[in-house]
A and B are shown apart, each in its own frame.
Chain A
Amino acid sequence: MGFEVETIIKIAAFSGGGIAMGLGAIGAAVGQGYTAARANLAVSRNPKISGDIFKSMLVGQAIAESASIFALVITILLLFVIPPSPGLLDAAAYLGAGLCMGFGAIGSGIGAGNPGGEACFGLSRQPEAGSQLTTNMLIGSAVCQTPAIFAMVVALMLIFIKFGGAALTPTWAALIGAGLSTGLAAIGSGYGGGLAAGASCEGIARTPQSVTSVTTLMLIGQAVAQTPSIFGLLISFILMFKTFPESSLLMTPMALLGAGLCMGLGGIGPGIGNGMAAEGAVRWVARNVEHSSDLMRIMLVGQAVSQSTAIYAMVVSLVLIFVV
């Protein structure tokens, strides 16, 4: 059964759109649900300030929803914006864009729910620290969205850059691999960043005076937790912009697809691991401010070690792209 090019493009664009919105909705919904669950707990604990808790929950949920709105934007573009005279490579690019945004929104959505939930619960413990908690929650949630923004950038590039001049094989695999690399790697970084942000809200609620140390450590921890998604972005850029010679061998496209998968999957664990290291440090710095430099040192060493598997994944991806 043969298909016209236009039909193949539409199949890829519609499938990409479905994947982007379907997967993209998972994270935000889980994150918002977590925030609501913690808000319930907070209201049970301190019903007198239920209004303030609802306010924090609403604001936290609105920010956590951003990741799924990114996915919605990409979906609408895939469903309705097909440039004139598309080629077969555009089909691969559209599918890659959908995969990238769909996977890329999961971690940030779940992660952004953490600070929202912990801010609500913290408010029930320490109502007078409400302003500090809300500000910290918003900063933490916003930084959590960075991996999803990386995914949206790659998805937009895949949709709008014309790859028409490149060889169909193996470039089709490179474009799908580019989407998978950033999208999958963003899962761990988004979720990991959320762990650090959640712990910082808990820490501020416990010791409001520690807000400066807690926020600083949270931002450093989150920045390092983003590294695997930056590796994913790097591999995506190489896969999108390197010119691959035409090949009739199946091995070449599979190597490029494997490079994207390797970096994407390889980035999930380190992102979460880095977030856990940051979570521990941020949580404990609130109880032990005078030892913040020791905690930061241990956090950074722990994150560096946890990062090593992402570096292995990046090295293997580079070998698959440049050597195989």
Chain B
Amino acid sequence: MDTVKQVQKKITQRALWLSIIVGLVFIVMGYKSVGKGLILGTLFSVLNFIFMARSIGYKFGRSKRQIFSISIGSIIFRYILLAIPLIAAVKFEQFNLVAAIVGVFMIQMVILAEHLLIQIPILRGKQI
């Protein structure tokens, strides 16, 4: 399970750093709501991913019924978690809705970017 924790840590750190840097750039440029929305969405995307990863280990050594309940509970909880930044962005003007939506997908974007960018020959060369 250490590998899972390492992967989770690496992906979540990159997603958070990316959103903080991009968010700060927007805030400095005067688009405060965009920056805040992006960071808010990413924060909950990261929480969702951490919860998803943790729930894998939590299911070991339990009865079938317990695993079923944990799985259903985990899915419902994670969807509620992802709905929070979107509802906040709809309700409060200081968070941009589109930026919050982009933030909610930050984990997926980081996973894809990480694996697809190393296909670029220059970057692959650097990694070696």
Which residues from chain A sit less than 8 Å from chain B, CB to CB?
Answer: 21, 25, 29, 51-52, 54-55, 57-59, 61-63, 65-66, 68-69, 72-73, 75-77, 80-81, 134-135, 138-139, 142
Whether B111 pairs with A59 at a CB distance below 8 angstroms is yes
What residues on B are CB-neighbors of A55 within 8 Å? Answer: 3-4, 7
From residue 1 to 47 of chain B, which have CB atoms closer than 8 A to chain A?
Answer: 1-4, 7-8
B residues near A77, Cβ cutoff 8 Å: 90
A62, B49: Cβ atoms under 8 Å? yes
Give chain B nearest CB distance to A215 CB in angstroms.
10
Within 8 A of A (CB), among B72-128: 75, 79, 82-83, 86-87, 90-91, 97, 101, 104-105, 107-108, 111-112, 115-116, 118-119
Closest 8 CB pairs of A and B: A51-B3, A76-B86, A80-B90, A54-B4, A55-B7, A138-B115, A55-B3, A135-B115
CB < 8 Å A-B pair total: 72
Given A54-B1, A69-B104, A73-B104, answer yes or no on A61-B52 (Cβ-Cβ < 8 Å). Answer: yes
16 A-B pairs besides A57-B56, A72-B82 with CB distance below 8 A are A25-B75, A51-B4, A54-B3, A54-B4, A58-B53, A62-B49, A66-B105, A72-B86, A73-B101, A76-B86, A77-B90, A80-B90, A135-B115, A135-B119, A138-B111, A138-B115
Complex: A81 Cα to B49 Cα, angstroms: 27
Q: Is the interface of A mostly helix, strand, loop or mixed?
A: helix
Query: Which B residue sits closest to A64, measured CB to CB?
Result: B108
Task: State whether A25 and B4 are in contact (beta carbons under 8 Å apart), knowing that A59-B111, A69-B104, A81-B90 are contacts in the complex.
Answer: no
- Report the Cα distance A62→B4, complex, angstroms: 13
Nearest neighbor of A142 in chain B, beta-carbon distance: B112
Chain A residue at smallest Cβ distance from B89: A76
Whether A54 touches B56, Cβ cut-off 8 Å, given contacts A72-B83, A72-B86, is yes
CB-based contact A72/B79 at 8 Å: yes
Q: Chain B interface mostly helix, strand, loop or mixed?
A: helix
For B90, the chain A residues whose CB sits under 8 A away are 76-77, 80-81
Judge whether B108 and A51 touch: CB under 8 Å: no
Cβ–Cβ contact B3 & A62, under 8 A: no
Residues A58 and B87 in contact, CB atoms below 8 Å apart = no
What's the Cα separation between A52 and B1 when bound, in Å?
Answer: 9
Q: Report the separation of the CA atoms of residues A51 and B57 in the bound assembly, to the nearest whole angstrom.
A: 11
Q: Are A76 and B83 within 8 A (Cβ)?
A: yes
B103 to chain A, nearest CB (A): 11
Given contacts A29-B75, A69-B104, whether A59 and B86 have CB atoms under 8 Å apart is: no
A52-B112 contact given A62-B49, A62-B107, CB 8 Å threshold: no
Whether the Cβ atoms of B115 and A134 lie closer than 8 Å is yes
Instruction: Please name all residues of chain A whose beta carbon is closer than 8 Å to the beta carbon of B105 when the two chains form the complex.
Output: 66, 69
- Contact: A51 with B79, CB < 8 Å? no
Distance to closest chain A CB from B70 (angstroms):
13
**How far apart are the CA atoms of A51 and B56 in the complex, in Å?**
12
Q: How far is the CB of A33 from chain B (nearest CB, A)?
A: 9
The reply to whether B86 and A58 contact each other, CB–CB distance below 8 Å, is no
CB distance from A230 to the nearest CB of B (A): 22
Does B1 contact A58, Cβ atoms closer than 8 Å?
Answer: no
Contacts of B108 in A (CB 8 A): 62-63, 65-66, 69
- Chain A residues near B111 (CB-CB < 8 A): 59, 62-63, 138
